[in-house]
Amino acid sequence: MKKRKTLILLFILALILFFSLGFYSAKKDFKGKYLLENLSIFFKKYSYELSNKFSNTKEKSTSPLSEIFITLGGNINYNSKSPLDEGFLYGINGLNEISQILSNDTISLSSMIFYGEDNKYQNTSVLFKYLKDQSIDLLNFLNTDNKEFINIKETLESNGTNYLLSNYNWGIQSNGSKLKFITFDFLNYTYEFIDKLSKDINESKKNNDAIIVIFNAKNFSEDADIEKILKYSIDIGSDVVILNNYKNNSIEKYKNRFIIKSNNTIFSNIKNSYMNINENYLYQLSFVFSGKNLVSIGIKAYPYRLNENKGVFYPSLLLGDEMKKALDKLSTDNFKVSDKFNFIQLRHRKKNN
């Protein structure tokens, strides 16, 4: 009887030590960001590693956790024919409302859309500096070819703004983990396109721990099987697939990865038919790594509407019942979306050699 009591006491002490170490590790690794959410991920990751220890897999991960946060900030519509006048300054106050969200991540991505042909790139230095000040530090150019881009490349680089083009991808490294963005400006289910898609994703997976593939849907074949292409991208190694500038917003969990369709405008000084005034979303992604292994992906959303003042449209976050109703529209039977991170736990994928 005495021996049994001793074993029970030792078991309780072991549990206390386990939770204490877990709390300390989570706090240390995440530097206090989203502490309670990430503490739960620590325990999920520990149980995952424990199950691997007794499985037949050879790959074991005992490295500390690290995390990369990505904010998908929506489209920026810009027409150089409209000068950056007093109306532009009202937009600054609007983006200030979400600047705290943007500043709490590793990288904030927005897609830049230019309208108008004459003097297309005037005043971009002012615009790029403003966006950088608001913590938008990666721009995905939707309707700009490589030759045109030469006109603004120097301005971007001098301002310290990173960029994506269809033939120019970009990656980030944080705490030893590497994540890469790959963009495509068209969708076409032809042999040539699928071959390029496969080669780009396979090549990127060799040197990166996570892959985000972005399809800019401004140009795509009318007979393209979009759903098939998006899912195929996950099948061959993508961790998140984004269909940008699409007609609606949705989040789908597919094979424990995410497919995001996004049609959001975060800032504009021109109104266009694609703009949704009342219902837009900031999406945030969390990529959790154990060493070089991606062990979990989380997502949350912040609904907002666009306010207009003197020809400038800027975001205002939805609150209360309005926020709940907007978030409910994104939730599906197999995955709930909220303003808190919801995570999916992953099994390791073998890298291509």
Q: What is the pLDDT of residue 339?
A: 94
pLDDT-derived band of residue 174, with 50, 70 and 90 as boundaries?
Answer: confident
Query: Which pLDDT value is given to residue 138?
Result: 92
Per-residue pLDDT at 43 exceeds 80: no
Rounded to the nearest angstrom, the gap between the alpha carbon of residue 350 and the centroid of all alpha carbons in its chain is 23
Query: How far apart are the C-alpha atoms of 188 and 197, rounded to whole Å?
Result: 11
Are 54 and 94 in contact by the 8 Å Cβ rule? The answer is no
The reported pLDDT for the residue numbered 7 is: 60
More confident of the two residues 306 and 96: 306
**Entry pTM:** 0.78
Give the residue, 83 or 3, on which the prediction is more confident.
3
**Average pLDDT of span 18-37:** 44
Q: What percent of the chain has pLDDT over 70?
A: 70
Q: What is the pLDDT of residue 40?
A: 45
List, for residues 179-218, the tens digit of each pLDDT value: 999 998 766 667 888 899 999 999 999 999 999 999 987 6
Residue 8, pLDDT > 80, answer no
Q: Which of 125-139, 236-250, 325-339 is predicted least confidently?
A: 125-139
- Tell me the average pLDDT across 36-60: 38
* Phi-psi label, residue 34: left if phi above 0, alpha if psi -120 to 50, beta otherwise: left
Burial 274-308 (b: 16+ CB within 10 A, else e): ebbeebbbbbbbbbbbbbebbbbbbbbbbbbbbbe
Give 244-249 contacts, CB < 8 A, sequence gap 24+.
244/75, 244/111, 244/140, 244/142, 244/214, 244/215, 244/216, 244/217, 245/75, 245/111, 245/113, 245/142, 245/216, 245/217, 245/218, 245/274, 246/217, 249/279, 249/280, 249/281, 249/329, 249/330
Torsion of CA 240, 246, 247, 249, to 10 degrees: 30
Question: Comparing C-alpha atoms, which of 151, 153, 229, 216 is closest to residue 188?
Answer: 229
pLDDT tens per residue, range 273-331 = 778 899 999 999 999 999 889 999 999 999 999 988 777 888 899 999 999 999 999 99
Residue in the block written with tokens 């998908």: 72
- Examine the pLDDT at 270 and tell me if it is beyond 50: yes
* Residue 60: pLDDT over 80: no
Condensed to tens digits (0 to 9), the pLDDT of residues 257-267 reads 999 999 899 88
